[in-house]
Chain A
């Protein structure tokens, strides 16, 4: 559906996107992940035809972005970061204007606007001026704007940034719903969000793709190791470390003494192949220390993300 090859974008001498290539099949939600300034927005802007690539090709369906940009723009619904809409227009007027530009006829436009009002729950704000809306409401109007023509491809640039937790869940549900039939590309730097919504993740750093896989595969990669966290009273670090070394599966122990409370905090890095929790507990039970905390850190993509996007 979407074919991107050797795509680069330079701002003067600065290389924002450096020869990235990927293919996207029809259907599903793809997440574009990366730290701030990694080139997410620039990539999306090139996909949607706002920026012209410095080099490389983008083909969407059978259209090339150089020759048939108008056809491509018709296929794509795009919500730019922080939803920059005409702030002096009323929500209804704005949606009507977009439906006119998108070429919907009168009947269809009416039907579609009401569908979107339902989908994005805009019924309370149709008569309000866009500059009166809160960020979350504006984002919803922006989402309606992007979906006006029922586009085959929906591109969303940080759709949940600046929203409150309830709104994030709402928007996420809407996106998931759309992702069942359409192709959705969204960018974010919130990992839990990417994990929860996307089928496939492309992680970019400094304009380059550093990982491109299904969310499941990436998570498995992240799950090769897990971390146990312990807090023990009445013990000292050396003894505690000695007590726990040699347990099967425990690869590394990191101890930290907190003299004020007479406690030791320990981080055990364990291999996923073996569940060492029972053994660790058994070893502690033999001593006369007080076990205050014992939990497995829920590690998700965070580690892998940090690994891929920070410089060593």
Chain B
């Protein structure tokens, strides 16, 4: 119940202030531009390029969304007010996480016009599209958890943003950086990359290993935030 109260409040905050509209506009502008600039040259009615763009764009859009969740409270001092209300650390963390995920969901939902338009232009295979959106939501949730962890570390929103972006970009790029690592580590390192797990789901193959990966990242991120909160009192 407390989780829902907190999530509701945070979600309201996003949409009452200009943050939501600015972030969603930037997201649509970027992804729309990159996707449609090549879409008509390819002559293919699919969304693969759209989904390939999600990990890098999420890597900096999501930390921008989540950076305020803890840092602002710590900076303003309302963190103290919040912690002396009858709520637990986990209520707060999960409430804020839920608000972040719902926001990402709303952001993704605003691109639903793309597959609708494309399905009018050609024969769109809906399987990968549904998989892509599911993967996008999982990826977004994982990055939100990382962003919340980054935000819980500092009272400075800019530092929170940078920490979040670095971790998310790291997870996004690790699959392209494999040549840097020695052979015997490749398999392990490759498993850490978010991109391959996301691409698997976006192809329409929903494998428990990929889902497990995203849930692990979420749990680790949120647990990290919990530790950071405990450290503070």
Contact = CB atoms under 8 A, between A and B. Distances in A.
A82 B77 contact: yes
A220 to B, nearest CB: 36
Contacts of B5: 97, 100-101
Contacts of A78: 81, 84
Nearest to A93: B12
A229 interface: no
B16 interface: yes
Contact of A84 (B1, B6, B80, B233): B80
B93 to A, nearest CB: 15
Contact of B84 (A76, A86, A88, A97): A76
B233 A52 contact: yes
Given A50-B233, A97-B9, A101-B5, A73 B77 contact: no
A102 B85 contact: yes
B86 interface: yes
B86 A48 contact: no
Nearest to B12: A93
A98 B76 CA distance: 17
B13 interface: yes
Contact of B86 (A51, A86, A89, A102): A102
Contacts of B25: none
A80 interface: yes
Interface in A22-75: 45, 48-52, 70, 73-74
Contact of B16 (A51, A88, A145): A88
A74 B86 contact: yes
A190 B205 CA distance: 69
A87 interface: yes
Contact of B17 (A84, A88, A97, A102): A88
Is the interface on chain B under 10, 10 to 19, 20 to 34, or 35 or more residues? Answer: 20 to 34
A253 interface: no
A84 B77 contact: yes
Interface string B83-121: 111111000000000000000000000000000000000
Contact of A70 (B76, B77, B86): B86
B78 A85 contact: yes
B2 interface: yes
Interface string B14-52: 001100000000000000000000000000000000000
Contacts of B16: 88
Contacts of B79: 84
Interface string A106-141: 000000000000000000000000000000000000
Contacts of B87: 73, 101
B80 A50 contact: yes
Contact of B85 (A51, A73, A87): A73
Chain A binding site: helix, strand, loop or mixed by DSSP?
loop
A93 B13 CA distance: 11
B14 to A, nearest CB: 11
A84 B76 contact: yes
A101 B84 contact: no
Given A97-B9, A101-B2, A49 B76 contact: no
A145 B17 CA distance: 23
Given A97-B9, A100-B5, A101-B5, A73 B84 contact: yes
Contacts of B81: 78, 80, 84-85, 145
A89 B13 CA distance: 8
Given A86-B78, A88-B13, A97-B5, A51 B84 contact: no
B98 to A, nearest CB: 15
Contacts of A93: 12
B89 to A, nearest CB: 10
A70 B88 contact: yes
Nearest to B78: A84
Nearest to A129: B16
Contact of A80 (B2, B80, B233): B80
A102 B80 CA distance: 16
Contacts of A88: 13, 16-17
A48 B85 CA distance: 9
Closest 6 CB pairs of A and B: A84-B77, A73-B86, A78-B84, A74-B86, A48-B84, A80-B80
Interface of A: 45, 48-52, 70, 73-74, 76, 78, 80, 82, 84-89, 93, 97-98, 100-103, 145
25 contacts: A48-B84, A50-B80, A50-B84, A50-B233, A51-B233, A70-B88, A73-B84, A73-B85, A74-B86, A80-B80, A80-B81, A82-B77, A84-B79, A84-B81, A85-B81, A86-B13, A86-B78, A87-B76, A88-B13, A93-B12, A97-B5, A97-B9, A101-B2, A101-B85, A102-B86
Interface of B: 1-2, 5-6, 9, 12-13, 16-17, 76-81, 83-88, 233
Given A84-B76, A88-B13, 10 more contacts: A45-B80, A49-B84, A50-B233, A52-B233, A80-B84, A86-B13, A101-B5, A101-B6, A101-B85, A102-B86
